[in-house]
Amino acid sequence: MNSPSQAAIRKAGAVDAAAAWGVRTSAILHHCADCYPADLLAIWTDGSVTAEFEQFVADRLYVATLDEIVVGTGTIDCDTGRLDAIFVRPELVRRGIGSQIVSFLEQLGRAAGLTQLTLDSTLNAAPFYRSCGFSGDETSSYRSPQGIDLDCIPMAKVL
């Protein structure tokens, strides 16, 4: 693979769903294990690629690739400024890919005329988002698509 500084970010297609699911699942299991109970992690990562997930990927997801291999994901809602689904393969963390994804999504937000971005950070990822210029310290609850409530840190960044 090329160096992470050469990651390419592109709009995902349904064909990327399995790879995106793998990145998401491995990132959650690897990075969130110290912050969330094992039973919640099991529910959060249970299942497989569904038609709904394929549609989500095709409609909303962007992927970071190295040598055309999906290594990271992220979304932005350009109506609300909400970032979500930012995940990087565990073996590639701290190599700049996550920052590249956030920066790319910020550029999309700016182009859409947004003045602020928001997200719900997992407890383990808050320091990363702070390093990207987001602020927020209060713990809240996030309702996952799997129907579980997870502690999170709502964060915001002025563009």
pLDDT tens column, 97-114 = 999 999 999 999 999 999
CATH no., domain 4-158:
3.40.630.30
| Residues 6+ positions from 85 with CB-CB distance below 8 Å | 24, 61, 73, 74, 75
Q: Global pTM?
A: 0.91
Q: What is the pLDDT of residue 3?
A: 47
Half-sphere exposure of 3 (CA within 13 A, CB side): 2
Domain positions in the chain: 4-158
